[in-house]
Chain A
Amino acid sequence: QQPVQSPQAVILREGEDAVINCSSSKALYSVHWYRQKHGEAPVFLMILLKGGEQKGHDKISASFNEKKQQSSLYLTASQLSYSGTYFCGLQRGSTLGRLYFGRGTQLTVWP
């Protein structure tokens, strides 16, 4: 039931773009995205509900394709502060109960 994230790791230069994918084999109600910096707790980025909406947060945006049961996180013009591990969390029902996290994508941004 754990979602599959890809890629496992990505290395960028400042200003480059990246896409992180999260896919599920089962129907989804919503997708959560979190970022965790080394030695810290995960921090909430955004939630996307089924319906294929796209949301944005500064230069980080995400989409949710309900048919494909897939979400993608887009990081545009990456900054050093974007470095960290990104996790998607899948919620299957309308009420938060079980939340299944992927194994994470480690993003490193170099100057």
Chain B
Amino acid sequence: EAQVTQNPRYLITVTGKKLTVTCSQNMNHEYMSWYRQDPGLGLRQIYYSMNVEVTDKGDVPEGYKVSRKEKRNFPLILESPSPNQTSLYFCASSLLTGNNSPLHFGNGTRLTVT
């Protein structure tokens, strides 16, 4: 089944403790992206990647890191999480061919930083 898989689904951590949220897709998509969703603010883009070893900042990259060493994986790293990073995170991927490039979203990771 074609899908984007995020892990974990839920994560509670403390301020300053490094964490990684994994994202993997099995559709051979070139494009991958991370979003955070907060009540009333919609989806805000954190980072995106057009292909392996190519990453770019989105709207809210501060406090986050990403890497794209393999086409299928795009982990989100929080080196020193803070409470204002408590949010619902979505990973998404897309095939970059033609003019029709819909995003396929993972099921989300709800992160709480205390």
A95 to B30, CA, bound (A): 12
A42 to B45, CA, bound (A): 14
Is A47 a contact partner of B102 (Cβ separation < 8 A)?
yes
Q: How large is the interface on B (under 10, 10 to 19, 20 to 34, 35 or more residues)?
A: 20 to 34
Is A101 a contact partner of B106 (Cβ separation < 8 A)?
no
The A-contacting residues of B in range 32-56, CB under 8 angstroms, are 33, 35, 40-45, 48, 50, 56
27 A–B pairs (Cβ distance < 8 Å), ordered by A: A1-B59, A32-B102, A40-B107, A41-B90, A41-B105, A41-B106, A42-B103, A42-B105, A43-B105, A44-B102, A44-B103, A47-B102, A49-B99, A87-B42, A95-B50, A95-B96, A96-B31, A96-B94, A97-B50, A98-B48, A98-B58, A98-B59, A99-B103, A101-B35, A101-B43, A103-B41, A103-B42
Known pairs A41-B90, A94-B99, A95-B96 / 20 extra A-B pairs, C-beta < 8 Å: A32-B103, A34-B103, A41-B105, A41-B107, A42-B90, A42-B103, A43-B105, A47-B101, A49-B99, A87-B42, A96-B96, A97-B48, A98-B56, A98-B58, A98-B59, A99-B103, A100-B45, A101-B43, A103-B40, A103-B42
